[in-house]
Amino acid sequence: MESSAVTWAVLGLLDQRPRSGYDVKRAIDRTIRHIWAGSYGQIYPELRRLEEAGWITGKDDARGARSRRVYSVTASGHAELLDWLRGTQYRIELRDESLLRLFFADALPPDDALGLLEARREGYRQLLAYLVSLDDGTGPDPPYIDLVYRWGLDYCRWGVEWCEQQQQRLRRAAA
């Protein structure tokens, strides 16, 4: 089966515990959103693909008036996840619309361009505040979940600092 990042995000979350598509989306938003964002438009088709491939199984589990399907990882799905985790192919992709805007900011008046940098700094601050809010104080996370969480905190702190340094540098250069 052809796989993508959505394959591994969904399969990894389901490997932790059975979830509905809605639960997968909530888990993404509460855990890995700072490194990988997934939409319902990606998640639900991927759930169907994974079920067709036999990597997960789904079971109808209505709650109230709502129908829902809860998915669990099969033995073959778990084996595929382990193969991917042990794989040697690493692809680091950076898709950052804010940085894309900065790349083209020379087309703007200087104050507007600096405003983009200020907005980026504020974005890092907001993401940092969100990540800090995820720490519910109930105890330590598993070591590698904690590792990625700490990466997100450090990345945001670095981003705030970098934006401040670059604002100062660009202001000095314009003066």
Query: Taking the model in full, what pTM does it have?
Result: 0.81
Q: What is the domain-level CATH number for residue 82?
A: 1.10.10.10
- Gap between the Cα atoms of 52 and 44, Å rounded: 12
Maximum alpha-carbon separation in the chain: 65
Residue 10 CB neighbours (<10 A): 28
Is residue 34 in some structural domain? yes
Is residue 92 in some structural domain? no
Question: What would the pLDDT profile of 74-117 be if each residue is shown by its tens digit?
Answer: 999 999 999 999 998 777 887 888 999 999 999 999 999 999 99
Q: What is the residue whose two structure tokens read 């100062």? A: 168
| pLDDT given at position 34 | 81
Is residue 91 in some structural domain? no
Tell me the β-bridge partners of 60: 69
Listed in sequence order, the residues at least 6 apart from 34 whose beta carbon sits closer than 8 Å to its beta carbon are: 127, 131, 152, 155, 156
- Gap between the Cα atoms of 105 and 115, Å rounded: 10
- Residue span of the structural domain in which 144 resides: 97-174
Which of 62, 86, 110 is the last residue in one of the domains?
Answer: 86
Question: What would the pLDDT profile of 10-31 be if each residue is shown by its tens digit?
Answer: 999 999 999 999 999 999 998 8
The pLDDT-based confidence of 120 (bands split at 50, 70, 90) is very high
